[in-house]
Structure 1
Amino acid sequence: MMDPPLSSLRSLQLCDQEGSESADSSFRDVQDLPVPQQIQISNITCDSFKISWDMDNRGGERITHYFIDLNKKENKDENQFKHKDVPTKLVAKAVPLPMTVRGHWFLSPRTEYSVAVQTAAKQPDGEYSVSQWSEIIEFCTADYSTVHLNQLLQKAEVIAGRMLPFTVFYRNQQRDYFQQASPSYRSRDAQCSRMLPAVKDDSGSDGSPISGKLEGIFFSCNTEFNTGKPPQDSPYGPYRFQIQADILFNQNTNIYFGDFYCMYTSYHYVILVLAPDGSKEDVFCKGRLPELDRSNNRFLTCTEDSNGALLFHHAQDVILEVIYTEPVDLSLGTVSPISGHQLMSLSTVNAKKDPSCKTCNISVGR
């Protein structure tokens, strides 16, 4: 059997490690093998990184392999359904450094890892002699790039379905949220009766570049097929603020694709960002998110009729979560109770993506 390829580490031998000792009882420590020093991590992406280190020349000619011990840092808030990462030792033949480590099965985006390295010499009997472990280095993988988001965008477009007309954006909350004095809500300005942008939570894909960074206000726009109106049920509260669509979405608004995910159900969610042209969050989105044509995309469109009036349509077969990036004055819309139920089980607050869904995952870190 041939040894695993060197530069990409796609073929791996996996084994456990305890402490700073070699995991395999057949490995033998050899004092004259150099210990890697000054570990350097560079070119970090959502599912790869480059690693290099310094070594003295003592015993260097005997090195045949490198062992890279990669461990995910424990996160108590981690998605309980997500596949568990195990301590992983990557075995590769010795090659000129830096070496690229790549693999979406053991690397996830925006995740903290620790890494340590051994040098090794393969013996004629197939066993390894190894050096002592290097120091432990910590690093964090990156967000999805626009290349990865475009892959998600293409998958979302496949299931978006036909476009349905709508006229209002709406946002559900508890009654107190919409009252004049609401100091308990950080996303409300009680004195000015405004809804304020808040930092997006961690719902959706782990690699989404907007989670924990983009500021905005979540709105919905989906309608019921039989009535053409917003549904009367909501997971977010029994009171609803409605605002005419053209106030938030018009020819001066840019639209971006933010994410595509599901939560272990048949429902799929698409996150879109509406940012007024030239605003702070518009600048943030450019270069990070795929920009959509406001009048011609598969999710949410704004077009003009022959009289110059704006018409709006949304995709039928996905649930749209629309983030508007500027404050919204309550006086621009209306607040009223809904007649349906508050379906808390459908809430997407900090909801994590199903990593096993073939519809909304791409072949990089989850």
Structure 2
Amino acid sequence: MLQTRKTTKVNMIHITFKNGPNLNIVWDPKEISPAKIYVFLCEKNSPKKSFHWILDIDHHNLPTLTFPLHGNSRGYDIVVSGLIPMSGGKTISTHYQICGSSAESVGDPRDQAEITAQLEKGSLKQRDAMIQGGEFKLKMFHKPPSDYTLVDLPVKNKSIHLIWVHQELPAAEFLYMHQASSGSSFKFPNKFTPASDYHVTVYESDAQVDNSSNKGISCYCTVKISKVLRFRAYMTKTEVNELFVKSSEFVGRHGLSGDLEITHMYRDKLPDYFDFIFHKNGGIIPCYYKTLSGDKASSLHFNIKGIFFHTFVDFTTLKPPPISYQGSMRLHIAAQMFFDNVNIYFADFYCHYKSHKVTLVFAYKGTEGDKFCQPRLKKLDPYDNPFLYRTSEGRIFVNSGVRVEVIYTAPIYARNILKTFGPYYIFFTHVHPVGNPGNIVKSKPKNADCNVCNLEVRKNILTEQTL
């Protein structure tokens, strides 16, 4: 049964135009007492260059703000918001959360004398016109468990960055001010919700104090706009552990054939790939960045290098499947060799509408991959875990209830293995290719609708939207 949310009293801000191109903003200080008032103007005919925002620094008790519209007065998109400082009230690296906002499109100011803007928490939406045609890219750095920093921001003495963050689910908007001269990086002071999607836009601006307006009101004119950075907040170790519990329960129910013994792991590719490895790369299989297969919130994507291997065998034949979507040649390497000098981490649990898969990272001890995994993923006992383990006698077993994938984080010296240990430890077979492996460009994302392998935090977010 759906629950009905209680409606609360909506405070009002009145936006009027005075003497043609002058904008007048009025509110009742008895009802609305924000620490700051923020006004965002987008001139319709030149959205990339005509942004302005005005912050009432010292006079937030004034019931009226009046300032001139700059440029062409034929039409603006207007956003008016009350801002609450969340970290000391400073203008440098200060976090503001929007307590109320409204976006209104207006025509000629002479044709529309007054606009009533309702202040509703989390109602602000970025207009497409405000974020199209970005002029520089944003880069994000993540430090576990959930710290995020924008890096390589433009640095200018008299510039500021307005950092606008839109959180999709649950819907929320955040504003941050950053003095450009204080450095090229900005650490977000709040924690992003794991598995929630975000859009980040940065407006690089020069400060101009408008003396014809109220004292203490600064006008910032945008000079550059970033491209929109879209990302999903990474799972922390807590969420990874939740996936581990889900996957453990799943294999406990579905591993009907028990654990199957395997002797080799395998990698399927086109002949050209292996020709390059053995004839042009000295018989060395290099590591590649992990792509976007699996859960979009996984911290592995494009952050860790490794080599991908399969472990699945048919429970009736105890052999790998005779077909492949990746290529017609299959390289087999003795499974016991992967367990030497590694730490094993559980990384992901996902599906593509059919079979469920688990991703394990075999991180060679001391490598960058191992250092990356330690604070982010769940470490497993190589002799006692639900998915892939070895016995004290050196035998290797894999769970039959899920397809276990392995990412090995060190180069493999295939030619040396063959010379040193012989053809049992490394060899090729031919398989029947399915589809067109040469046209595979990117990996499939996780099935977001599956009730088995998605995080509870994601399900709760989606449920909240329907109430």
The normalised TM-score by structure 1 is: 0.65
Match of 1:360 among 446, 449, 453: 453
Is the Cα contact below 8 Å between 2:13 and 2:25 reproduced in 1? no
What's the offset of the Cα at 1:355?
1.2
Match of 1:178 among 264, 274, 284: 274
What's the offset of the Cα at 1:314?
0.9
1:64-117 residue CA offsets vs partner (Å, 9 max, x unmatched): 95234255989xxxxxxxxxx98997599xxxxx99797789x32xx433499x
Flag the 1:273–1:54 CA change in 2: closer, same or farther, 3 A. Answer: farther
Match of 1:330 among 389, 414, 430: 414
Flag the 1:273–1:188 CA change in 2: closer, same or farther, 3 A. Answer: farther
326-335 or 215-224, larger mean C-alpha shift: 326-335
Structure 1 residue 258 corresponds to structure 2 residue 347:
yes
Letter in 1 for 2:397: H
Is the Cα contact below 8 Å between 2:264 and 2:332 reproduced in 1? yes
Is the Cα contact below 8 Å between 1:70 and 1:113 reproduced in 2? no
- Indicate the residue corresponding to 2:25 in structure 1: 31
- Indicate the residue corresponding to 2:366 in structure 1: 278
Partners of 1:87 and 1:163 lie apart in 2 by 39
| Correspondence list, 1:1-366, <5 A | 2=6, 28-29=14-15, 31-32=25-26, 34-36=36-38, 55-60=56-61, 65-67=99-101, 68=122, 69-71=124-126, 90=172, 107-108=196-197, 111-114=198-201, 142-160=233-251, 161=255, 162-179=258-275, 182=276, 190-250=280-340, 252-263=341-352, 265-305=353-393, 310-331=394-415, 332=417, 333-342=425-434, 349-365=442-458
Point out the structure with max Rg over C-alpha.
Answer: 2
Is the Cα contact below 8 Å between 1:200 and 1:216 reproduced in 2? yes
Is the Cα contact below 8 Å between 2:299 and 2:376 reproduced in 1? yes
Partners of 2:452 and 2:194 lie apart in 1 by 17
Is the Cα contact below 8 Å between 1:70 and 1:114 reproduced in 2? no
What's the offset of the Cα at 1:28?
3.4
Flag the 1:363–1:190 CA change in 2: closer, same or farther, 3 A. Answer: same
What's the offset of the Cα at 1:223?
0.9
Aligned alpha-carbon RMSD (Å):
4.1
Letter in 2 for 1:329: Y
Partners of 1:319 and 1:274 lie apart in 2 by 16
What's the offset of the Cα at 1:169?
0.8
- Considering Cα pairs closer than 8 Å and 6+ residues apart, tell me whether 1 or 2 has the greater RCO: 1
Letter in 2 for 1:241: L
SS in 1 for 2:369: helix
The normalised TM-score by structure 2 is: 0.52
Letter in 2 for 1:304: S
- Higher-helix-fraction structure: 2
Flag the 1:159–1:90 CA change in 2: closer, same or farther, 3 A. Answer: closer
Is the Cα contact below 8 Å between 1:256 and 1:285 reproduced in 2? yes
Flag the 1:90–1:349 CA change in 2: closer, same or farther, 3 A. Answer: closer
Is the Cα contact below 8 Å between 1:66 and 1:91 reproduced in 2? no
Question: Identity across aligned pairs (percent)?
Answer: 25
Is the Cα contact below 8 Å between 1:178 and 1:335 reproduced in 2? no
Flag the 1:158–1:189 CA change in 2: closer, same or farther, 3 A. Answer: farther
What's the offset of the Cα at 1:147?
0.8
1:35-83 residue CA offsets vs partner (Å, 9 max, x unmatched): 238xxxxxxxxxxxxxxx9753535487795234255989xxxxxxxxx
Runs of 5+ unmatched residues, structure 2: 16-23, 28-35, 40-53, 64-81, 84-98, 102-121, 133-166, 175-187, 204-218, 418-424, 460-467
Is the Cα contact below 8 Å between 2:262 and 2:397 reproduced in 1? yes
Flag the 1:362–1:89 CA change in 2: closer, same or farther, 3 A. Answer: closer
- Indicate the residue corresponding to 1:124 in structure 2: none
Partners of 1:293 and 1:172 lie apart in 2 by 27
Flag the 1:89–1:292 CA change in 2: closer, same or farther, 3 A. Answer: closer
- Higher-strand-fraction structure: 2
Letter in 1 for 2:386: R
Partners of 1:273 and 1:167 lie apart in 2 by 19
1:142-195 residue CA offsets vs partner (Å, 9 max, x unmatched): 31111111111111112222321111011111112112xx2xxxx888241111
Runs of 5+ unmatched residues, structure 1: 5-12, 14-25, 38-52, 75-84, 93-97, 117-131
